[in-house]
Amino acid sequence: MNLALIELFIIEMPLKSPFITHLGTVRDREGIIVKVTDKDGVSGMGEGVAFSTPWYTEETVKTSIHMISDVLIPLLKKHPVNHPEEAAALFQSVRRNNMAKAAIETALWDLYAKKKGQPLSKAIGGTREVVASGVVVAVDSIKNALKQIEEYVAEGYQRIKVKINPQQDYEFLAEIRKCYPDLPIMADANSAYTLRDLDRLKALDELNLMMIEQPLSPNDIIQHAALQKELQTPICLDESIVNFEDARNAVELGSCKVINIKVGRVGGLTEAKRIHDYCFQHNIPVWCGGMIEFGISRAHNIALASMPGFSIPGDISSSSRFWEEDIIAPEITVENGVTQVPTSPGIGFKINEKRLKETTTATIDFQL
């Protein structure tokens, strides 16, 4: 791909309101914006979605910077690639560190699509002109939950995802269900339960939830299969699925009926596509998960969610869901419950240079 320069922008931005889960609260988001530029001066953008601390996966912003700087870029220097899929294959020689890999690989996909003069969605096999938008409510009081839901329903979101845990589940969801009898609602537990909570989880069956996301620990693949046999509500796996093999094992074992695909969690668009293709063949619906990310990663998510198997609204919310001002222009917007898939080359969004500058805390450059 004739790479000449890779630039990292470490950025930081406060969320408009705290994002509360039983694992911790996110108030400020650090992120890594990756810009790859080739010898013709064409650039592609990617984003590293690891958090500041390892609460969601083992990676952090600092481990990502280390991996990108000291391992992945040196690999690319030593083995120049002609296609983003070659970078994904090259990165297989490094264990895990999927968010660091995805940060670079997605930037290469944007560059690749721009060189072809194609929207990224088309370059990866997307077919939709719009993607269905959902939004996440992550608060610790029913009052705040109902306030946010009212707002989001008015904005047209097609489904609401609510964070739950054993201290905040049946009564909380029942109250929401009472106010919104027909709203598509799903619950995300982020591994807050074990099989000992079987009765608590079974009680949720009567609330007509679309699905319950990641009830048990990431490695509880067999336990999720046992749980799914006892529940009517479909289980969706998030943290458990970090590569194609995890998805295949989960489907073969009956550990879930739905899969949440996150580009960062699985190491890039190449692996995300593989999981999508497998699920599509096996009639397992998928949707695109969010990482409280900035506009660059959200733009990659929109391209991914335009693929045919993404039949359920994902965490594709507007830039204004989390940010006073995003780092892309135009910002991502949701109208009538959908987000338009861009038709211009690459990710289809430009950088808001002023906003990038004012949120950047450090930059690192690599000459290739």
Query: 182 pairs with which residues across the strands?
Result: none
Closer by beta carbon to Mg ion, 19 or else 323: 19
Query: 367 pairs with which residues across the strands?
Result: 5
The region of 77-85, 192-200, 208-216, 335-343 touching Mg ion under the rule CB under 5 A is 208-216
Looking at beta carbons, which residue is closest to Mg ion?
Answer: 238
Could you give the residue ranges of the DSSP H alpha helices within the chain? 61-67, 73-78, 84-91, 98-116, 120-123, 142-155, 170-179, 198-203, 221-230, 244-253, 269-281, 295-305, 353-359
Interface residues toward ligand OSB, by CB under 6 A: 56, 136, 188, 190, 238, 289-292, 315, 317
Question: Tokens 């004739």 appear where?
Answer: 2
Residue 334's closest CA among 307, 298, 291? 298
Please, are residues 86 and 105 in contact by the beta-carbon 8 Å criterion? no
Question: Tokens 């048990």 appear where?
Answer: 216
Looking at beta carbons, which residue is closest to ligand OSB?
Answer: 290
Enumerate the active-site residues. 163, 262
Closer by beta carbon to ligand OSB, 292 or else 299: 292
Closer by beta carbon to ligand OSB, 108 or else 162: 162
Which amino acid does the sequence have at 136?
V
Please, are residues 321 and 327 in contact by the beta-carbon 8 Å criterion? no
The region of 115-123, 173-181, 231-239, 333-341 touching Mg ion under the rule CB under 5 A is 231-239
- Select the residue interacting with Mg ion from 155, 188, 271, 326 (CB under 5 A): 188
Residue 26's closest CA among 14, 9, 38? 14
Partner whose binding site includes residue 56, from Mg ion, ligand OSB, none (CB under 5 to 8 Å by kind): ligand OSB
The region of 52-60, 165-173, 196-204, 233-241 touching Mg ion under the rule CB under 5 A is 233-241
**Beta carbon of residue 289, minimum distance to ligand OSB (angstroms, whole number):** 5
- 3-class DSSP assignment, residue 328: strand
Please, are residues 31 and 17 in contact by the beta-carbon 8 Å criterion? no
Partner whose binding site includes residue 290, from ligand OSB, Mg ion, none (CB under 5 to 8 Å by kind): ligand OSB
**Beta carbon of residue 310, minimum distance to ligand OSB (angstroms, whole number):** 15
**Beta carbon of residue 313, minimum distance to Mg ion (angstroms, whole number):** 14
Closer by beta carbon to Mg ion, 34 or else 49: 49
238 is an interface residue for Mg ion by CB under 5 A = yes
**Beta carbon of residue 125, minimum distance to ligand OSB (angstroms, whole number):** 24
Show contacts with Mg ion in window 72-91 (CB under 5 A).
Answer: none
Which amino acid does the sequence have at 32?
I
The maximal CA–CA distance of the chain, rounded, in angstroms, is 61
Please, are residues 247 and 219 in contact by the beta-carbon 8 Å criterion? no
DSSP-derived letter for residue 56 is S
Question: Hey, what are 217's tokens?
Answer: 């620990």
Closer by beta carbon to Mg ion, 56 or else 112: 56
315 is an interface residue for Mg ion by CB under 5 A = no
Closer by beta carbon to Mg ion, 238 or else 293: 238
Angle at 175 between CA 170 and CA 176, to 5 degrees: 100
Residue 202's closest CA among 231, 226, 173, 229? 231
Site string for Mg ion, 37-76 (x = CB under 5 A): ----------------------------------------
Partner whose binding site includes residue 315, from ligand OSB, Mg ion, none (CB under 5 to 8 Å by kind): ligand OSB
Closer by beta carbon to Mg ion, 114 or else 163: 163
**Beta carbon of residue 293, minimum distance to ligand OSB (angstroms, whole number):** 6
Question: Hey, what are 367's tokens?
Answer: 């000459």
Please, are residues 310 and 276 in contact by the beta-carbon 8 Å criterion? yes
Question: Hey, what are 160's tokens?
Answer: 């609401």
Helix (H) or strand (E) holding 176: helix 170-179
**Beta carbon of residue 35, minimum distance to Mg ion (angstroms, whole number):** 29
* CA separation for the pair 176, 50 (Å, rounded): 31
30 is an interface residue for Mg ion by CB under 5 A = no
What's the Cα-to-Cα distance from 15 to each of 98, 153, 240, 338, rounded to whole Å?
Answer: 24, 20, 27, 23
**Beta carbon of residue 32, minimum distance to ligand OSB (angstroms, whole number):** 16
Binding site for Mg ion (CB under 5 A): 188, 213, 238
